[in-house]
Structure 1
């Protein structure tokens, strides 16, 4: 079953699905700044565009571009700045 998710007044939208590897979402973020919280371990893959990310425990922003990924442990918060419309794949464990 495919689920739909919408956050930040529609500026972030995704479709959720389950595969042999587990649960995932694929979505798009509009230009903006966001703070996300995790309930499980997440691997975020940038499909197209880019995002500047401040990971938990860090004071530095790191830019991730198309084809690059980062991980965030469960029960953490992280910040994202999106300078261009950006698509992503988020895999949950």
Structure 2
């Protein structure tokens, strides 16, 4: 089954799905600033565009471009800024 998810007044949308490797979401973010919270370990891979991210316990922002990924542990919050529509693949463990 495919789930349809929308967050931040429809500025972030994703499709959720399950494979033999686990749960994932494939989504798009409109330009803006967002704060996300995790319930599981997440690996976020930028497919197209760029994310500027402030990871948990970090003091500086890090930039992730298309093809790059970052990880966030379960039960953490992180901030994301995008300046143009950006697509991503998020896998959960």
Give TM-score scaled by structure 1 length.
0.99
Mapped to 2, the partners of 1:20 and 1:52 lie a distance apart of 31
Runs of 5+ unmatched residues, structure 2: none
**What's the RMSD between the two structures over aligned residues?**
0.3
In the TM superposition, what whole-angstrom CA distance separates every residue of 1:20-71 from its partner, at most 9, and x where no partner exists?
1100000000000000000000000000000000000001000000000000
**Unmatched segments (≥5 aa) in structure 1:** none
The within-5 A match list for 1:12-91 is: 12-91=12-91
Instruction: Give the 4+ runs in structure 1 shifted more than 2 A.
Output: none
Q: Distance in 2 between matches of 1:36 and 1:17?
A: 19
> Given the two structures, how large is their TM-score scaled by the length of structure 2?
0.99
Deviation at 1:73, TM superposition (A): 0.1
Q: How many residues matched?
A: 93
What is the CA–CA distance in structure 1 between the aligned matches of 2:92 and 2:4, rounded to whole Å?
16
